[in-house]
Amino acid sequence: GVYPNPIAGKLRIGITGMTLRENYHAVLMDAMGRVVLRASTAAGPGTAVIELDVKDLPAQTYFLKLFNDRRDKVLVQPIVKQ
């Protein structure tokens, strides 16, 4: 899951249920589609957390894209920065 949302400081992305070791990538984009933050982690099997520090970003709605190296597991979710 992605928490908290809305957010003021650190955004945490929990990745669960992996059966293989995979690289996961989180990309935060503004409303114009520009990448403002990115992070990656090698995760699994089990669970992992990616953190993005958004405290210095302006208040607005962003879009989080989470995907693995094969891009067969993709999540896109709006994130509100307060």
Report the predicted TM-score, pTM, of the whole model to 2 decimal places.
0.87
Non-local CB neighbours of 11 within 8 Å, separated by 6+ positions: 2, 3, 4, 5, 28, 51, 52, 53, 54, 64, 79
Strand residue runs (E) in 1-82: 2-3, 10-18, 22-29, 35-43, 46-53, 60-68, 74-81
Measured between alpha carbons, how far is 15 from 18 in angstroms, rounded to an integer?
8
pLDDT at 42 over 90: no
Most confident among 1-5, 7-11, 66-70, 71-75 (mean pLDDT): 7-11
Mean pLDDT estimate for the chain:
90
Is pLDDT at 73 greater than 80 in this prediction?
Answer: no
